[in-house]
Structure 1
């Protein structure tokens, strides 16, 4: 496993979090146990001191304390008011008729009930101490002292600490295993996505991420798969476009070259045939010009190089101008071209030239892809601070599966007919970009062999 791999990073993160939780937890438990044992030991010797300080009444009872000390595993002694030791259960701590530690005596004299700690210089051990006053006439202001060795407490605490340490190590081992499995599981989809994105970058668009989760990871996988499909579709459209452009350029160039050669060699019979050849050359030159203009226009729009010329536009005049321009082509094909405009459409603040370009493009498409003696209708009305246009035709229609893609560059729904009538597949892409530039919306409905309807909605007042 590489140190900079995602598996290691995820695993290390989880492990550090676990350590950050476990160490303070173990320390807290250890401190709680230590305090608990010390508190219990204090409580135990305090009870012993309290119990036997009240029952002692004579010298015989005092000597019985040795037996009690052995049973309770404690050390006991009795001192007088000056700190002289009158009785001791053993000489591990004190010797009879000696003075107790001055610091301990100071604590004893300052309070009636004392819980303290004491270090014995005789056996070099630490003890917990509890002391209670005695009611013995033979010993004025006497006190009973009960000691318990801290070693027993520390041994118990160390035993608990050992158990905690073993438990922590076991928990860490389990955590390591779980962390490794979890990090592999979390990283696996990411590694798979990395591989697929690299495949897609190399043109292997068929490569897919096989993740069916319904969480964010699944959404990301779906997005990568969709990206691959979109890139593949774009590449195919681009290939088709360049093939079409090459064909659309090569064909007129071939015609122009061929008929120019005929004219140059004077291979025509009469002036009528000569004019026919010149008409063909002019037609093919116009087709080349149309293609080049479309390419240049789309390049400018997509590059953000279009400056809008905003002013107040009379929709009635603009629509009438568009219909006048399209009338000749419609008449040549026997197509009925008419309009239906509401009388409440106000002037709108927009780029009139670009709006006319949009409507003309859609009208020309409606005529170009229509049937002979068909119908084209332009409808307009105002509603909710927007002006709306419908361009309806009775042409061949667009297949349902092609509708989502008709505004893409290079896309042609009916490739054979588009090539035959001279379409480059750029017109609708230009229209879509221009509508968005004018802060509008465009959508389309179509029925195969019934016709197509484009709807455009533009605001009354475009933001400058």
Structure 2
């Protein structure tokens, strides 16, 4: 497997080497240009001084007379090769006795004979290195009488340039080596935390959610560690909730089953001779069977929602009729528990496109919780109103309320608070799923000993 560390190191080295090469080429060109420019400036200054000297002290004689009598004046203080050319471009003097071949190209001399400074770089047959030539016009009484040419070999300059380039190459090599070592260190600082995160993830995948991924740096990898640890904590919580749910459901199922079995055994053995006892036994069996049916239906609903196999049946729903039906259904319970149930809705409520049975399930579930947590003598308000494109349902009770630390969790799956009377902790989570499928919103507000308020908004 091609590791991240290997790729990172190679990428770092490639970037460093590429950058160093670019810089070396640029620096080498700059150094070369500077050295050549310095040599050109030296030759230009020297040749300008010599030409001024000629104009002041030797312009009274002809160029040929000066070459014959005073030629050494032009190169006495000059280490370069000196040439004097007449206006026809003919070489009439060379300080080292070199006679150039016929028709040799001398563009610097051409420029000088035009009255400008000329420069030329090229190869000559008497020097193994290239040379630089600078030519300047010789004047006599404002008239150009020839050209003075200084020629310098570039051999020593090139050696100096090579020495400087060698130093920069050495520095570049050191930079590449140090950068390579640094890239290994940097890649380790990235790869090692990733390895630790991977090892922690593998342990979690095997079922060990107690392991923690160590956070080294507050960066993307550190955030990944935090996310992994949070995921493990949430899985542990959900697993604990699941276990509590199974335990709770087992207990809730055991109670009615025990009653049913006890009375079934009693009736089977023929011990229930009295008609009243027989009626009581059958009534208890019927109620406990209904209780089991309700729990099973809740579990089936929950399973359907989790697997995404449930859908909302769209139909026109008379909201007022639904609320009136719920009022009639819960009236006996409110009278039995001595709790005031008020159902309020305007007469002009519009019809909704929704699922009537699911609406009833949501309202009855929430109202059932209100009855459970509201003491005798309390009150429950079930109210509806129309605002724009939404119908708002408001349920308020005067019950014991929900503690602040538990309120954000009451809609979580399997969650049962400390004082919860819920059978399995899935009632509100199922309601929340139904409301989401209807594209609505579900809010719960509560204060301890002051009651609970529920607001449901559903689109018309």
Deviations 1:73-92 (A, max 9, x none): x211224456654333225x
Which residue number in structure 2 is paired with residue 17 of structure 1?
Answer: 15
Deviations 1:7-54 (A, max 9, x none): 444444444434443332232222122122222322322332333234
Kindly indicate whether the alpha-carbon contact (under 8 Å) linking 1:83 and 1:99 is maintained by their aligned counterparts in 2: no
Deviations 1:135-181 (A, max 9, x none): 479xx954322111111221222122122222223333443344344
1:201-280 alignment, distance < 5 Å:
201-211=205-215, 219-280=223-284
1:75 equivalent among 60, 78, 81: 81
Kindly indicate whether the alpha-carbon contact (under 8 Å) linking 2:85 and 2:93 is maintained by their aligned counterparts in 1: yes
| Post-superposition offset of 1:408 | 1.4
2:43 equivalent among 29, 42, 45: 45
Which residue number in structure 2 is paired with residue 33 of structure 1?
Answer: 31
| Post-superposition offset of 1:360 | 1.3
SS at match of 2:172: helix
Deviations 1:388-436 (A, max 9, x none): 2222223333232221111111111147743xxxx12111111000111
| Post-superposition offset of 1:294 | 0.9
Which residue number in structure 1 is paired with residue 3 of structure 2?
Answer: 4
1:324-363 alignment, distance < 5 Å:
324-342=328-346, 345-363=349-367
Q: Structure 2 CA distance, aligned partners of 1:104 and 1:175?
A: 50
| Post-superposition offset of 1:319 | 0.9
| TM-score scaled by length of structure 2 | 0.85
Which residue number in structure 1 is paired with residue 151 of structure 2?
Answer: 147
Q: Does structure 1 residue 86 correspond to structure 2 residue 92?
A: yes
CA RMSD of aligned residues (A): 3.1
SS at match of 1:69: coil
Deviations 1:208-229 (A, max 9, x none): 4554976655554443333222
1:172 equivalent among 176, 182, 190: 176
1:301-450 alignment, distance < 5 Å:
301-342=305-346, 345-414=349-418, 417-418=421-422, 423-450=423-450
Residues 373 and 76 of structure 1: is their aligned pair in 2 closer, same or farther, counting only changes over 3 Å?
A: same
Q: Structure 1 CA distance, aligned partners of 2:191 and 2:348?
A: 62
Deviations 1:71-126 (A, max 9, x none): xxx211224456654333225xx1xxx34463334763476343112322223221
| TM-score scaled by length of structure 1 | 0.84
Kindly indicate whether the alpha-carbon contact (under 8 Å) linking 2:372 and 2:421 is maintained by their aligned counterparts in 1: no
Q: Structure 2 CA distance, aligned partners of 1:159 and 1:251?
A: 97
Which stretch has the larger CA shift, 143-152 or 390-399?
390-399
2:127 equivalent among 123, 137, 142: 123
Residues 130 and 212 of structure 1: is their aligned pair in 2 closer, same or farther, counting only changes over 3 Å?
A: closer
Kindly indicate whether the alpha-carbon contact (under 8 Å) linking 1:83 and 1:100 is maintained by their aligned counterparts in 2: no
SS at match of 1:400: coil
| Post-superposition offset of 1:296 | 1.4
Kindly indicate whether the alpha-carbon contact (under 8 Å) linking 1:444 and 1:452 is maintained by their aligned counterparts in 2: yes
Q: Aligned residues, how many?
A: 444
| Post-superposition offset of 1:318 | 1.5
Kindly indicate whether the alpha-carbon contact (under 8 Å) linking 1:374 and 1:393 is maintained by their aligned counterparts in 2: yes
Which stretch has the larger CA shift, 190-199 or 364-373?
190-199
Kindly indicate whether the alpha-carbon contact (under 8 Å) linking 1:104 and 1:118 is maintained by their aligned counterparts in 2: no
Deviations 1:258-294 (A, max 9, x none): 4323322223343332333222322222222112211
Which residue number in structure 2 is paired with residue 55 of structure 1?
Answer: 53
Q: Does structure 1 residue 108 correspond to structure 2 residue 114?
A: no
SS at match of 1:241: helix
Which stretch has the larger CA shift, 30-39 or 357-366?
30-39
Kindly indicate whether the alpha-carbon contact (under 8 Å) linking 1:65 and 1:89 is maintained by their aligned counterparts in 2: no
- Tell me, which stretches of 5 or more residues in structure 2 are unaligned? 59-65
Residues 3 and 413 of structure 1: is their aligned pair in 2 closer, same or farther, counting only changes over 3 Å?
A: same
Residues 177 and 298 of structure 1: is their aligned pair in 2 closer, same or farther, counting only changes over 3 Å?
A: same
- Tell me, which stretches of 5 or more residues in structure 1 are unaligned? none
Q: Structure 1 CA distance, aligned partners of 2:266 and 2:221?
A: 67
Q: Structure 1 CA distance, aligned partners of 2:17 and 2:349?
A: 72
| Post-superposition offset of 1:383 | 2.9
Residues 220 and 90 of structure 1: is their aligned pair in 2 closer, same or farther, counting only changes over 3 Å?
A: same
Which stretch has the larger CA shift, 341-350 or 313-322?
341-350
